[in-house]
Structure 1
């Protein structure tokens, strides 16, 4: 049984004078410990799928199951202990007036988990940050350091699944590579399952076992990593994305 099962998912938004069909009848399955990518241009619906899983976007049709169980609305503590999301912009996703210590301790307090001091220090070490960062504020950290804090926060409750919404697109190239390598290491060490969004096939190639190419809210084509590396695309759109990322694919191979 797949850990994440999405069947004929549709997400529609009321834009006043029209209905925006952000996602249209998309289906996918992600196995436990797999890293699965969603790729496509801006507006393709890939991030909306992650938001629908988290309950941040309305499900207009279809279903989402985690571990064979349909998701409840609202999601509740059980969901957040099992599934966490890392957002694109590490600055806006961290409260500017909370120290890193407060940010990391908050999910533990909400879920009644003790041993806070040790867990916070260990979380920083796990993402290769010195414990001295504990009492700093987000504006005192670099973009890459802030994203490491965001990753540490997502891992505080030891979830099975990380939803990664363009987690490195706001970072420069060198920091991006470091962050991707960190995520790969954490997945291997903790047996995590990733569902990752990117507009860049080079990032997906570096991170994911399989990828679903999306366009205008619809699934276009699913590719295994071997098919991606060998440029075995069946659709013109997937090939266009591949060609746009070809140099970076070679760099990360």
Structure 2
């Protein structure tokens, strides 16, 4: 008997607006992510991939289909129990952090909301886990580099020890020289914590590097689901996926 997927999306549709202004951002998309796996959503801007993450978090209106976490259908307002299981890391590390809050306050706030004690130790440990020195604890976001801010965002997402991370283009706003550092950090944290990733990117090379499987999306619809071997070797069926492979030409998955 197959294990229940950690994340399951069944025939998901998401629409914004009404009448003539109605926009269907996602149309009948289905996918499954086993526990401990990393699954990619890849496609051009406007393909609906980020909207799927927002729908999971309750930030986009689901107009059809179901979202299940560990076999439990998720509906309505996402509360504390959901936040303890699922966290999201956004594309813009500066926009996702309160500019007037110190790192200590940013990282302590989820602990306070969930009534967790030993906050000093947890904050310092969370910073160490993402490669930030404890001396940064009382700095403000503008006093950090882009890569350091994204490390804070990752630390905040993980401080409640959730099993699932939703990653929305987590490196696309960073300098190329910093992107690999953050991707390697995420890969290490996934191994150490047995995390499940749903990873959004417009870059097939990044998805190839980070994920075992990926769903190619275009115009709100699923185009093709690919496994690791197909990603690495460019064995795709759709013309659109072939275009993405050509755009990522030159990248090769590292040998184990």
- Do both share a fold (TM > 0.5)? yes
**1:252 deviation in Å?**
5.9
In structure 2, how many angstroms separate the alpha carbons of the residues matched to 1:72 and 1:239? 36
Query: Distance between the aligned counterparts of 2:75 and 2:67, measured in 1?
Result: 10
Alignment match, 1:250: 252
User: What's the counterpart of residue 68 of structure 2?
Assistant: 65
Partner of 2:39: 36
SS in 1 for 2:39: strand
**Do the aligned residues in 1 keep the contact of 2:53 with 2:166 (CA within 8 Å)?**
yes
Give ranges in structure 1 of 5+ residues lacking alignment. none
Q: Does structure 2 retain, via aligned residues, the 8 Å contact 1:233–1:239?
A: yes
Shift, 1:250, TM fit: 3.0
What TM-score do the two structures reach when normalised by structure 2?
A: 0.97
Deviations for 1:23-56, whole angstroms, at most 9, x for unmatched residues?
0000000000000000000000000000000000
Q: 1:122 aligns with which of 114, 120, 125?
A: 125
Counterpart mapping for 1:175-186 below 5 A: 175-186=178-189
Name the SS of the counterpart of 1:171 in structure 2: coil
Residue from 207, 215, 219 that aligns with 2:218:
215
Q: Is the 8 A contact 1:202 1:252 kept in 2?
A: no
Structure 2 segments unaligned to the other structure (5+ residues)? none
Cα distance in 1, alignment partners of residues 197 and 67 from structure 2: 16
Residue from 3, 9, 14 that aligns with 2:12? 9
Matched, 1:234 2:223: no
Q: Which residue of 1 aligns with 2:169?
A: 166
Please report the RMSD computed on the Cα atoms of aligned residues, expressed in angstroms: 1.1
Match of 1:146 in 2: 149
Give me the whole-angstrom Cα distance separating, in 2, the residues matched to 1:193 and 1:154: 13
Distance in 2 between residues matched to 1:194 and 1:46, nearest whole Å: 14
- Tell me how far 1:179 sits from its aligned partner: 0.1
- Separation in structure 1 between the aligned mates of residue 220 and residue 20 of structure 2, nearest angstrom: 19
